[in-house]
Amino acid sequence: MTTGDDGTVRVWNLRARIQQHEPINGGGPLGTAALVADEPPLVAAAVRGGPVQVWTLDGQPRRPFAGHEGTVTALRAGVFDGVAVLVSAGTYHTVRIWDPRTNGQVAALTTQSEIRDVALLHDGHRHLVATAGDRVELWDPRTGEKVATLQSDNDSFATLTVLPGDGEHPQVAVAGRDSVVCQWDVTLGRSLPRTGHTQTVTAMAAGRMGDHIVILSGARDETIRLWDAASDLTRPPAVGHHGDVNALAVHRGHAFSAADDGRVAVWELATGARPRVVDFADWPDLVGEDTPFAVAYLADGDLVVAGGSHGTIAAWSLADGSPAWSVTHHRDAVNALATVDVADGQLLISGGDDQTVRVWNPSTQQELHILDGHTDWVTSLSTLVVDGRPIVASGGNDGAIRLWDAGTGDQLGPALLDDADCINAVVLAEVDGRLIVAGAGDDHLVRVWDAEHGKILHRLDRHTDEVHALALLPGPDPVLVSGGNDRTLRLWHPLSGRPLGTYHLPDAVRVLTPADLGDLLVAFGWEVALLRAAPG
Instruction: Provide DSSP, 236-266.
Output: PP----SS-EEEEEEETTEEEEEETTSEEEE
Q: How many CB atoms lie within 10 A of CB 388?
A: 8
DSSP per-residue string spanning 311-334: SEEEEEETTT--EEEEEE-SSS-E
The model's pLDDT over 229-251, given as tens digits with 9 standing for 90+, comes to 865 443 334 456 778 899 999 99
How far, in Å, CA of 31 to CA of 116, rounded?
Answer: 12
Mode of pairing for the β-strands spanning 366-371 and 389-396: unpaired
439 pLDDT tier (thresholds 50, 70, 90)? very high
How far, in Å, CA of 393 to CA of 437, rounded?
Answer: 8
156 pLDDT tier (thresholds 50, 70, 90)? confident
Mode of pairing for the β-strands spanning 254-259 and 263-268: antiparallel
Question: Mean of the pLDDT values across residues 497-517?
Answer: 91
Q: What is the pLDDT of residue 233?
A: 44
Question: Mean of the pLDDT values across residues 311-339?
Answer: 91
Average pLDDT, the chain: 88
Which residues touch 192 (CB under 8 Å, ≥6 apart)? Answer: 182, 183, 184, 231, 233, 235, 237
Q: What is the pLDDT of residue 283?
A: 54
How far, in Å, CA of 310 to CA of 263, rounded?
Answer: 15
The model's pLDDT over 264-309, given as tens digits with 9 standing for 90+, comes to 888 888 777 665 677 665 555 544 457 899 999 999 889 999 998 8
Q: How many CB atoms lie within 10 A of CB 221?
A: 17
Question: Mean of the pLDDT values across residues 90-101?
Answer: 90
E-strand ranges in 387-519 read 389-396, 401-405, 410-411, 425-431, 434-440, 446-450, 455-460, 467-473, 479-484, 488-492, 499-504, 509-514
Examine the pLDDT at 49 and tell me if it is beyond 80. no
Choose among 155, 159, 179, 182: nearest CA to 171.
Answer: 182
Q: What is the pLDDT of residue 90?
A: 87
The model's pLDDT over 210-235, given as tens digits with 9 standing for 90+, comes to 777 889 898 888 778 888 786 544 33
Question: Mean of the pLDDT values across residues 117-123?
Answer: 90
Examine the pLDDT at 20 and tell me if it is beyond 90. no
Examine the pLDDT at 379 and tell me if it is beyond 80. yes
How far, in Å, CA of 385 to CA of 408, rounded?
Answer: 14
Choose among 384, 19, 194: nearest CA to 394.
Answer: 384
Phi, psi of 191 (to 5 degrees): -135, 150
What pTM does this model have? 0.65
Choose among 60, 61, 65: nearest CA to 75.
Answer: 65
Q: What is the pLDDT of residue 223?
A: 79
pLDDT higher at 79 or 241? 79
* Residue 164 three-state SS: coil
